[in-house]
Structure 1
Amino acid sequence: MSLRRVSCAVPPGRFSRRFYTSQAAPVTIGIRREDPERVWERRAPLTPDAVAELVRRDSVRVLVQECERRVFPVSEYLRAGAEVHSTLEPAHLILGIKEPPLSSLVTSPVRPINQNILVPRTHMMFSHTVKGQDYNMPLLSRFLAGGDYYADSKLVGKESIPQLRARLIDYELLTGTDGRRTVAFGWHAGVAGTLEALVAMAHKHLEHGVASPFLYAPRPHTSPYLDATSWANGLWCHRVSELALSGRLGLTKRISSNGNVTQGILSILSELPIVMVSTEELLALVNDPETDLRKIYVVHALPNSYLSRIDGSPYERPDYYANPHKYRSAFHTKIAPYLTLLLNGVGWNVGFPRLLTTSQLTLAKRLVAVGDISCDIGGGLQFVSRATTIDAPSYDVNGVTVVAVDILPASLPRDASVHFTEKLIRYVRSIVSDYKGKKGEDVEATGALKRAAIASEGRLQQGHEWLAEKVEAWRATQRSPTESTCTSVVSSEIEGRRSMIGRKKRVLVLGSGMVAGPAVDELAGRPDVELIVASNSLQEAERLVAAHSNASALLINIDDKTRVSQLVKESDIVISLLPAPLHPVVAELCIGHKKHMVTASYVSPAMRSLHSRAQSAGVLLLNEIGLDPGIDHCSAHSLLSRLRSENKKIVGFTSFCGGLPAPEAAEGVPLGYKFSWSPRGVLRAAGEGACFRLAGHGWEIPGERLLLQNFPDVPLSNGLRLEGLANRNSMHYTETYSLKEEDLRTMLRGTLRYPGFASLMHSFGIIGLLESSKPIFLEHWSSFARLALEQKFGLSISEGDIPSLKSAIACVLPPSRIAPLLEALTWLHLVPSTNVSAPPAPAFGSLVPVPRQALPPVDILALHLAHALRYMPHERDLVLLHHEIVARDSSGAEQVHTSTLTAYGDARTSAMARTVGLPVGFAALQVLDGSVSATGVCGPTVEDSVWKGVLRGLESKGLGVKESVKPGPSMEGVLAAGLQRRPL
């Protein structure tokens, strides 16, 4: 946007007297010092040579602030014709690299070459506001109308001429007509980032006991010029060529993007003995024992090699940028498992698929180091949680060294500054011409500057209007309770919404996992609620709140107790969707700040120990408000309450619940099961004992026999065949449901599975796959069953000896179970190919990386099943909850009453997410509205308002629990008969 001259229409004395002199002044450029806190920032936006040319050719006055760290001494600028100035207040255009401290930011109007006229000055920098970075909203606020933000000027009180606000131009947004960035340090970032990553990789190899030749790689900041770095390259590159790399390490690098960063990366790697390979060659390359380890194998993975549409269509760039939500990334399975070093230069925006998530990082078993040259915190590489510095360039995430230096080009300050100046000088001249009144002399540069302006004339420019809410949210935190909120920078529509801040009820959701979506939607559906979703995955949190104007996302580390405590303090209620062991930690903070808390998890001993403290503080810690536990408690309590009101005695209570794949998704799948979370809990539960009463007989089943002592037929449905497993100690729930143990002939809670689950899981256990003690080391997946057998029974079976393997299995399993076991193991690629007829299966052996270290068999199996038995995007899940209560009336007659919930997932939300997340939301709103008076550690049956509110909410969402009277006998007889048939 062209600069706008505004006649001064304010009372005399409002501005400094020097603005009213009649003497003409040249256009003035200011080169500011960088933030003193950025000790390694030594770059300059203009070199002394460029300053000399501007002074001589363009008759420009140049001011420079003193800075002893800057790569060009002030003396060079003075020789070029610049002047030293402490504040740069006379400058029309102020140039810097990074954003300045607010205390030094000059945004007041400036006098141009004509008298009695003021114009807004211009700032150019990497402002780090483009993506709504919270920490720089105070900076952006200074460029926008509203409030007393002329802290640096002589203006009195509120500013009255928004058009005089300074213009903010961000280098990151300067592009050509083709959309490509024209002013950047990408090439130098690629060079410096590659060197830093190679050094970090060498240090990690040294921790593994291997002295890599990359120990000789120079760190970029140790060389004054690129020529010196190149000279050093010759020495260490020669060492790499001389020394064979250890076969334990392997060395495959991946580089991303195809721009200046990539060219910088390749300029360094080209000095090495590299071989370029395709993604399709990776598996063979890694598995081939003849691979030449004196070479460095580089895969330049372009988007079409790992991105595709969810419907299976191939990647198309225009469609991808128009519809990123319709795409998914297979980088974690196609490329990451084969890499030793990942060099990433791809930028990322909210709504786009991530390159590699934190959970997917565990699949990259060969990966030693990551160089995130883009340094996009919580972005394409989700696990990059913070930036690093040149003096401390790396940190570890799950054993992988992460290099995320946010000022990489500052390692090469002189060369980077020269290159930057060459690209920037054209735009500087265009702005100078504009101030001189010679607008539009360089049409292309003028257009680029207009596109790169984030703020001008006190307003956010086109494409950046969404930042208004971010700025206003920050401004709201700066106001006193009595201060009016009418001075908003946002549109009237947004202002109307934001004027409610301070009167809304604030809900804090900690965590953004699979069940969070329905809870967030329910809570944010209330206009009187202000919702904050705080997560270690900013992408997930932003996705959850994207559709809600009264919700915002925060990136947070739960270990940052100070920040979490502050968030809890500022909230009215806290919902913890974090892993269960973290709930007591959050509960402690809630007690300290006297805030209520809701969570879906079981009451743990650590949580129960907080009961008296919570009561003393008047705080409710509401637990067990998901599906199981949660809806099961609410629906059981509802039915039991009605039966008691009819003076009926409860003599039998049977309850089964299961989260399963829909039948079509379970067909032909080992175990008839799919995992939407870590399988470790399922495998652990398969070895836990159970205690229950059934048909008048008490049962205690030890953990090692639980899978044998299963219920082969749970008659809940005419259309589905189901089996069941007893679920821990059912007798504890007599107290929960206020039942009299002496009246009960049946008290049983169980878990539902499809037929065959228990038998196959037991077979897994028999051959050693569920052992949790002695670790084993795999070289490839097909050796897993053999090694587990060998370890458990002290056998020795030759690799690939199928007859011996089958013979060993036949020694420990009955004949009827051998074929199903081998079919499952073949499907899962856990044995070599056999003659057993097995259904076709995906090539999990190539998709799931083998663990890099020895692990107990049960952990190896859990890792494999998490991938092999995961839900595909087109597959549905199923939730079944069924209570059967036998009630006896005063005449001694018995009736069987049932309470049932059946829910299927859909393309948008899984049934599990809805049945866990919605009850959390319903219960939290009940507490928030003051409908719950209980305090202490409680479950959903603590008050009618909780469990009734949950059931009413579910009914409104089409998830109502159906109660009925069952004709005929209860299921007790069928269950008991099936259990009795099992071997003892």
Structure 2
Amino acid sequence: MVAIRRSPFSLRGLSRSACSRAFYTSTRRETEVTIGIRREDPGRIWERRCPLTPEAVNKLVSEHDVEVLIQDCERRVWRTSEYLKAGAKVHDTLEPAHIVLGIKETPLSELLTSSIPGPASHVGGPQQLPRMHVMFSHTIKGQLYNMELLSKFLAEYHAPGDSRPRGSLPWLIDYELLLNPDGKRSVSFGWYAGVAGVLEALNALAHTHLELGVASPLLYTPRPHTYPDLESIMTVMRDRVFGVIQSEGFPAGVGPLVIGITGKGRVTEGTRHVLDQLPNVEYVSVDRLQSLVYVVHALPEHYLQRRDGGRYSRDDYYVNPDAYEAHFHTKIAPYLSLLLNGVGWSPGFPRLMTNAQLRETLEVTLNMGARGKGRFACVGDISCDVQGGLEFLPSPSTLSEPFFRARPEGLPAHLPGVTMMAVDILPSALPREASQHFSSRLMPYLTALIESRRSRGQGVDNEKLGAVMKAVVARDGVLAEQHRWLQTPLGIWKASKEAGAANIGAGVVPKKKVLMLGSGMVAGPAVDEICKRSDVRLVIASNSLAEATRLATDRANAIPLLLDISNKDAVERLIEEADVIISLLPAPLHPPVADLCIQHKKHLVTASYISPAMRSLHERAIAADVLLLNEIGLDPGIDHCSALSLIDSLREQKKEIVSFTSFCGGLPAPEHAEGIPLGYKFSWSPKGVLTALSNDARFRLNDKKYHLEHDELLTHYFPDVPLSDVLKFEGVPNRDSLSYASVYGLHSLQQLRTLLRGTLRYPGFCRLMGMFKAIGLFESQVPIQLSDWSSLARQALEHRLGTLIMDDAASIRSAFADLIPDASDCETLLDALHWLSLIPSSVVGASSGTTQDSSGQLPLIPTHGTPPIDLFAALLAHKLRFQPAERDLVVLAHEIVARPASAATGADEEVHRSSLIAYGNESASAMAKCVGLPVAFAALQVLDGKVKGRGVQGPTEREVYTHILGRLEEAGLGMKESVHKQTGSSVEVTLAQHMEGGYRV
């Protein structure tokens, strides 16, 4: 039986009030200063550090005549009993303390803001002194999530009626600002962050290697917080990790192991302490990165360059940071297995890597072939500046879950993202040694501050006291001069807090609040429109704070917020505080959001099709008096609104509708469609496009009902849809057109001659897609394993034909010719496959009419068997994506044939046309405007209580679609309408001629 001996000073079994009575009784003398040591935030379960050791406390009590109070905490690295033996006293609230010390920021509920009696002044009697809080406040870079904490130290944010003099308000002192005379931080945990950070990052890298199919010796790297001290950790590293690497080498599948480190301070020193013990470690310069290397120490002069081409100068850089840009993503990142980032970042300075640069780096690694496997797959961000030096760091990680996969918004699906280790309390993994170091560095500053607060202030170290004064963020109710710029993030926070009301005129009028979930490509026009309303407050909640902040810039009534959509509590809280919710999230996420809207009786607006899951919420939404308005973008959206409006107009004219055709397409502008296969670029999921081309289609055309099976769709397309005298289009029937007879309130199908909805493409799209499908690239069931992209078409065709095709040019050409007997079509197919890198160059030969795509960078090939359709979609997403300078085009056209309702069949008919042609520009794409603006118009209409419908709805009520169309007209996106007599040249007639002629490709 094992007996656990209790300390005679154990506080177990005593209530906190009993602890206070037992160990604290005020005996303050005039010369005495009281120090308080906080327990850290209970929510930070791994935070075990303490700013002062028991030895330091004993010195303060015995040598400096200081009273030390400490809050009881059983998680702290030293037990409370050890502090009691050192001379401290337990106190529950620390209310008597003049100076309150903690490590991380104080929870708002525990922050002491009252003043406190101090030593007697020279005029006699005790003076009221402001309390001083010393901590890593995480406010000095404008962190929005801590602006409320900062506001507690500022007079302008105090409640009305608070009559305290400014001099009695608390001070905020930040450890991060305590500097040596040489300008370097003097009180920090940096060395221990570096040691713990490299260990955690090696663990994350080992996990990343497992995902790549390789078990490396790094799997045995110890988690630092599970060992009692650093010596025991390094013993394990030498025996179980470095020893295995020494004897067996590093796995060739992800080798060589290339580690990059940044920074020049204590973080880097701690990092190198571990890395220096790697066997056969070699430190190399940046210019040798393309050879076999292990560790590279990248300094600013290696990757920073003036925008005008000038070289890096440290003095010039700190004076003119905006004149510099980082090239880390091209010079260094693509060659690294692991980046250990120890360099700090501040607003106004160039980032080490942006989101866009991450994308470039990952593209480069994919193009490196086998050499690129495992490159830039893992980052240990020891500095942990959220969306700072590494913009793609969305949030810190924890010791419980130390790493995660980061995928910034807009990263293409074929790019794998990067594993991030970004624990924000790394030194707490080594709590005893880290606290001992920190305490020893803090003591000289603390004693200087203590002596300065005594009545006579004798024996003060003025150098140390001056450093403390420079570390003050706020004093006497105002920000220190160098921190006045924090008024901007404080203003954003304040606006968020005051979202419920705004001063308008002489009174206070409640502001209406719209919550936008997501900040994707269509958000910009919606934000612009909503923020035109001064009586509306818009909260933009996104997984990219940088993107949300960009959208909110220069808009006083927009508030950017960082949101993890998987955090249901956070999402629910935001929904509860809003009046109307806009969801720009991926379509599968709409139903869970809608469910929360029903629970909190809030209206929802989305641009997506009504899914079965959304439809199932209809009755619950009606019971809750909630509107879930969907299909209010472009297609679906504007197409519904304009069709219903035209149909209404014809009915009012006593016209009978006998034919309805509608086509819509989002395309690249003609100048950006030339010279590329399909004449198309993808603004949404390529697999979604391919899947749509594999659906059945039902429609009615010239009194005949058609049902095309999925394998007939691309052989029964319409090669000429006559919508423009300038642009040529072809069309594909779009799923089930017949269901729209009821949606649009048309006659029964027997009374309609034509009912057809279709999708527009440039000529050649369907023919080429049909051939892609014919050779097996749409296969979704049978997985194949690629060795390189140029074998995809051959392997897909092998499965399609059920026979082996030799891997030589003649055999491949012969196999394709057997399936595509028309020689011209076969050459077109082979040229397109070559451009897409799906067949070897030798197959097309020197006489090919097209040139292979020159980008040269291809997606990573999956390491496991994958169906051809998924491989094909990944490659299309990469090859046929819009570039930043390219513009898009939206075309929407309805044609309705009508005649007088009382007229007999065969009477003169009129062709009514309604169309929209819109191009994107540098401010927004056409798709963004055509989706974002209707969403905004609808949301504001719902917000104003002008939509009476409830339940799951589309824009089929007149009050909705007439309003949307009117607002689109004002925005320059109005539908153009015309009418003429039926002459045989209508869209309906042209399409019918193709079908009746048995048109097949």
Q: Same fold (TM over 0.5)?
A: yes
Partner of 2:689: 682
Offset, 1:844? 5.0
User: Which of residues 478, 481, 486 is equivalent to 1:464?
Assistant: 486
Q: What CA distance in whole angstroms lies between the structure 1 residues aligned with 2:498 and 2:89?
A: 41
Equivalent position amino acid for 2:802 in 1: G
Q: What CA distance in whole angstroms lies between the structure 1 residues aligned with 2:520 and 2:701?
A: 37
Offset, 1:964? 2.0
Superposed CA deviations along residues 622-666 of structure 1, whole A, max 9, x for unmatched, are 111100111111112222222222222222222111111112222
Written as runs of structure 1 = structure 2, the 5 A alignment for 1:744-763 is 744-763=752-771
The verdict on how the C-alpha distance between 1:878 and 1:179 changes in structure 2, with shifts beyond 3 A counting, is: farther
Aligned-partner SS, 2:116: coil
Offset, 1:923? 0.9
Partner of 1:921: 936
Partner of 2:896: 885
Query: Would you say 1:902 and 2:909 are equivalent positions?
Result: no
Which has the larger displacement, 566-575 or 385-394?
385-394
- Contact kept? 2:263, 2:344, Cα under 8 Å: no
Partner of 1:810: 817
User: Which of residues 855, 860, 864 is equivalent to 2:866?
Assistant: 855
Offset, 1:966? 5.2
Q: What CA distance in whole angstroms lies between the structure 2 residues aligned with 1:846 and 1:170?
A: 47
- Contact kept? 2:633, 2:935, Cα under 8 Å: yes
Task: Tell me the TM-score normalized by structure 1.
Answer: 0.83
User: Which of residues 936, 945, 950 is equivalent to 1:935?
Assistant: 950
Query: Would you say 1:584 and 2:591 are equivalent positions?
Result: yes
Query: Would you say 1:187 and 2:187 are equivalent positions?
Result: no
Q: What CA distance in whole angstroms lies between the structure 2 residues aligned with 1:454 and 1:795?
A: 74
User: Which of residues 929, 953, 957 is equivalent to 2:967?
Assistant: 953
Offset, 1:912? 0.6
Partner of 1:548: 555
Partner of 2:423: 405
Equivalent position amino acid for 2:276 in 1: S
User: Which of residues 609, 621, 626 is equivalent to 2:616?
Assistant: 609
Aligned-partner SS, 1:693: strand
Offset, 1:599? 1.2
- Contact kept? 1:826, 1:833, Cα under 8 Å: yes
- Contact kept? 2:394, 2:544, Cα under 8 Å: no
Partner of 1:119: 129
Q: What CA distance in whole angstroms lies between the structure 2 residues aligned with 1:306 and 1:578?
A: 36
The verdict on how the C-alpha distance between 1:357 and 1:447 changes in structure 2, with shifts beyond 3 A counting, is: farther
Partner of 1:598: 605
Aligned-partner SS, 1:97: coil
- Contact kept? 1:357, 1:383, Cα under 8 Å: no
Offset, 1:537? 3.1
Superposed CA deviations along residues 589-611 of structure 1, whole A, max 9, x for unmatched, are 32333222211111222222333
Offset, 1:817? 2.1
The verdict on how the C-alpha distance between 1:812 and 1:279 changes in structure 2, with shifts beyond 3 A counting, is: farther
Partner of 1:971: 987
Equivalent position amino acid for 1:919 in 2: P
Written as runs of structure 1 = structure 2, the 5 A alignment for 1:240-639 is 240-250=245-255, 252-253=257-258, 255=260, 257-260=262-265, 261-272=267-278, 273-274=280-281, 297-298=294-295, 331=329, 340-345=337-342, 355=354, 366=373, 370-376=379-385, 387-394=396-403, 403-421=421-439, 424-425=442-443, 427-428=445-446, 431-432=449-450, 434-435=452-453, 449=468, 452-461=471-480, 462-469=484-491, 472=494, 496=503, 503-639=510-646
Q: What CA distance in whole angstroms lies between the structure 2 residues aligned with 1:893 and 1:174?
A: 88
Q: What CA distance in whole angstroms lies between the structure 2 residues aligned with 1:310 and 1:950?
A: 46
Which has the larger displacement, 338-347 or 865-874?
338-347
Offset, 1:466? 2.7
Aligned-partner SS, 2:604: strand
Aligned-partner SS, 1:667: coil
- Contact kept? 1:252, 1:299, Cα under 8 Å: no
Q: What CA distance in whole angstroms lies between the structure 1 residues aligned with 2:908 and 2:306?
A: 61
Aligned-partner SS, 1:98: coil
Partner of 1:794: 802
Q: What CA distance in whole angstroms lies between the structure 2 residues aligned with 1:636 and 1:307?
A: 56
Query: Would you say 1:781 and 2:795 are equivalent positions?
Result: no
Equivalent position amino acid for 2:105 in 1: E
Superposed CA deviations along residues 358-403 of structure 1, whole A, max 9, x for unmatched, are 9969978855655343445576778866654435544577898654
Superposed CA deviations along residues 187-233 of structure 1, whole A, max 9, x for unmatched, are 32122121123234435656877543223323323554444444443
The verdict on how the C-alpha distance between 1:85 and 1:298 changes in structure 2, with shifts beyond 3 A counting, is: same
The verdict on how the C-alpha distance between 1:626 and 1:838 changes in structure 2, with shifts beyond 3 A counting, is: same
Partner of 2:679: 672
List runs of 5+ in structure 2 lacking aligned partners.
1-25, 367-372, 407-415
Offset, 1:148? 7.6
The verdict on how the C-alpha distance between 1:885 and 1:556 changes in structure 2, with shifts beyond 3 A counting, is: same
The verdict on how the C-alpha distance between 1:533 and 1:497 changes in structure 2, with shifts beyond 3 A counting, is: farther
Offset, 1:468? 3.3
The verdict on how the C-alpha distance between 1:802 and 1:751 changes in structure 2, with shifts beyond 3 A counting, is: same
Q: What CA distance in whole angstroms lies between the structure 1 residues aligned with 2:310 and 2:685?
A: 29
- Contact kept? 1:508, 1:533, Cα under 8 Å: yes
Equivalent position amino acid for 1:723 in 2: E
User: Which of residues 224, 232, 243 is equivalent to 1:238?
Assistant: 243
Q: What CA distance in whole angstroms lies between the structure 2 residues aligned with 1:588 and 1:735?
A: 27
The verdict on how the C-alpha distance between 1:726 and 1:346 changes in structure 2, with shifts beyond 3 A counting, is: farther
Offset, 1:96? 1.8
Equivalent position amino acid for 2:708 in 1: I
Partner of 1:868: 879
Which has the larger displacement, 623-632 or 694-703?
694-703
Offset, 1:772? 0.7
Aligned-partner SS, 1:527: coil
Query: Would you say 1:214 and 2:228 are equivalent positions?
Result: no
Query: Would you say 1:100 and 2:106 are equivalent positions?
Result: yes
Q: What CA distance in whole angstroms lies between the structure 1 residues aligned with 2:169 and 2:917?
A: 60
The verdict on how the C-alpha distance between 1:212 and 1:899 changes in structure 2, with shifts beyond 3 A counting, is: same
Superposed CA deviations along residues 151-193 of structure 1, whole A, max 9, x for unmatched, are xxxxxx9452233111112233456799765543233212212
CA RMSD of aligned residues (A): 4.4
Equivalent position amino acid for 1:212 in 2: S
Query: Would you say 1:128 and 2:133 are equivalent positions?
Result: no
Q: What CA distance in whole angstroms lies between the structure 2 residues aligned with 1:313 and 1:900?
A: 53
Task: Tell me the TM-score normalized by structure 2.
Answer: 0.82
Partner of 1:716: 723
Partner of 2:150: 140
Equivalent position amino acid for 1:869 in 2: L
- Contact kept? 1:358, 1:382, Cα under 8 Å: no
Offset, 1:962? 1.4
The verdict on how the C-alpha distance between 1:382 and 1:612 changes in structure 2, with shifts beyond 3 A counting, is: farther
Aligned residues: 932
The verdict on how the C-alpha distance between 1:73 and 1:587 changes in structure 2, with shifts beyond 3 A counting, is: closer
Equivalent position amino acid for 1:119 in 2: L
Partner of 1:701: 708
The verdict on how the C-alpha distance between 1:908 and 1:330 changes in structure 2, with shifts beyond 3 A counting, is: farther
User: Which of residues 200, 210, 218 is equivalent to 1:196?
Assistant: 200
Which has the larger displacement, 384-393 or 584-593?
384-393
The verdict on how the C-alpha distance between 1:563 and 1:63 changes in structure 2, with shifts beyond 3 A counting, is: closer
- Contact kept? 1:693, 1:745, Cα under 8 Å: yes
Offset, 1:620? 1.8
- Contact kept? 1:395, 1:402, Cα under 8 Å: yes
Which has the larger displacement, 931-940 or 216-225?
216-225
User: Which of residues 832, 846, 863 is equivalent to 2:840?
Assistant: 832
Q: What CA distance in whole angstroms lies between the structure 1 residues aligned with 2:438 and 2:666?
A: 57
The verdict on how the C-alpha distance between 1:940 and 1:174 changes in structure 2, with shifts beyond 3 A counting, is: farther
Aligned-partner SS, 2:711: helix
Q: What CA distance in whole angstroms lies between the structure 2 residues aligned with 1:635 and 1:315?
A: 58
Q: What CA distance in whole angstroms lies between the structure 2 residues aligned with 1:767 and 1:301?
A: 49
The verdict on how the C-alpha distance between 1:607 and 1:323 changes in structure 2, with shifts beyond 3 A counting, is: farther
